[in-house]
Structure 1
Amino acid sequence: MQSTSLRTVNVTRYIQPLREGGSLPALAEADDDFKYVLKFKGNGHGIKSLIAELIGGEIARALGLKLPELVFANLDEAFGRTEADEEIQDLLKASQGLNLGLHFLSGAINFDPVVTKVDSKLASQIVWLDAFITNIDRSAKNTNMLIWNKELWLIDHGSCLNFQYTWTDWEAKAKSPFAYIKEHVLLNKANQLKDVDSEFSKLLTDEKLKSIVELIPDEWLMWEDSEETREQRREIYFKFLSIRNKHSELFLNEAENARKTLI
């Protein structure tokens, strides 16, 4: 299995805001000459949305699903001073340091379930992933999937790991089903969930999950709304994922039952 690591790039040019995102992501260029969809830690949803994006995305990659490369994107304190839009300038000022970039897939188009058919195995894999990471944002209204080079690519996992926004009873939430799976755009195609569960739950070893959680930068764990240390918070993320994986039958059964109502 590939090692878990992310490159770090320095943002050199702010190209344009992507207004369709509620957190004001942007298209930007970095010092490696690649373009990225930049997710800012100073966004209205806060730093936890970047942690969700990082963990959800790297779990998808560990499971063999296609996802654009994620990179840590460093914003220098001088960056954005000449930006005319005050809202964007405030966002850039609040996002100095490490942010998260998603490699920009030039020419990609949004996935349309009416136009593109997804085979049942891949549909089952994506449904399992989203039930595991509690991703509420893969509905018909907003699929967060792209077609690029005739293949399906996953993007935008910032709305997963909902437990972190209350940060209480996290162990109970790890063992809970995921009712929002009934809204999943691929649920009706996901008829191989049990086979996928057997495969994926074995791939996500504690060692792999811990290596993904270790990617969270220390500066992303410096919150003021709880008393744990950074390492204690990191450990809670790991334990949540580990416990949830070991009790996958709970969210698997929820998905199976939800799917029966669609058939």
Structure 2
Amino acid sequence: MEQASGPGQTYKIVDVCLLAGKIMLQNGGETYRVEDTMTRIAASYGLHHTHSFVTPTGIIFSVDGSDPTKLVRISTRSTDLHKVTLVNGLSRKISNGELDLQEAHRLLLKVDRANLAYPVAIQIAAAAVSSGCFTIMFNGGWPDFLPAVVTGGLGFIGFLIFHRYVLIKFVAEFLASFIIGMLASLFIWTGLGQELDKIIIGSVMPLVPGLLITNAVRDLMAGHLVSGLSKGAEAFLTAFAIGAGIAVVFSFY
């Protein structure tokens, strides 16, 4: 599908590439996948000599020639792999010549504006149940299953509330882990729980940045050192916040 025939058309192609890359990067896509997707889309529409530089906070995309380089700033990041999958599917259709430029841009905008996240109630229920299951997986006893469910669920609720009012994610994670530590200690003190460490370990697992750690390693292995190190640093700060919140609780005893 060769469509690049003028400056105006080139700008539209670049906009489609940047929109696809922005959606993927904001929702948990790896750096190398973002660059590969943008390059494939550009080549499908006739731009074969493109260059991109992707970091967790921005995308720089340029085309050989006199066309200006464009930058997209990434200010918010979350995890929604469904959107990443949808963009991958649209990229394959574009590569196969099934979508023209206008239709591709319309569908990408639709994906960008869609709210595909699970309802908050389901997220809380999943965090609670997974906390109990992690407690059992880490050799905890069944008497600690329900305390871990309650602790993990309330801790995740605290994280959602704090993150809504506090823009710094580090603070929200610290306060959520503090709540988890206090609730776990309360269960042990009342005799409803048996092993404090197992309850805490299972309850903090929904807060652990597993996707960040995975993407950091994959980006480093793919040679994207800047993105890999920055994602690794972000994962380290999250882990430090969780550990610090629990450590503050332990300092009381």
TM-score by length of 2: 0.29
Which structure has the larger Rg? 2
**Bigger fraction of residues in strand:** 1
**Bigger fraction of residues in helix:** 2
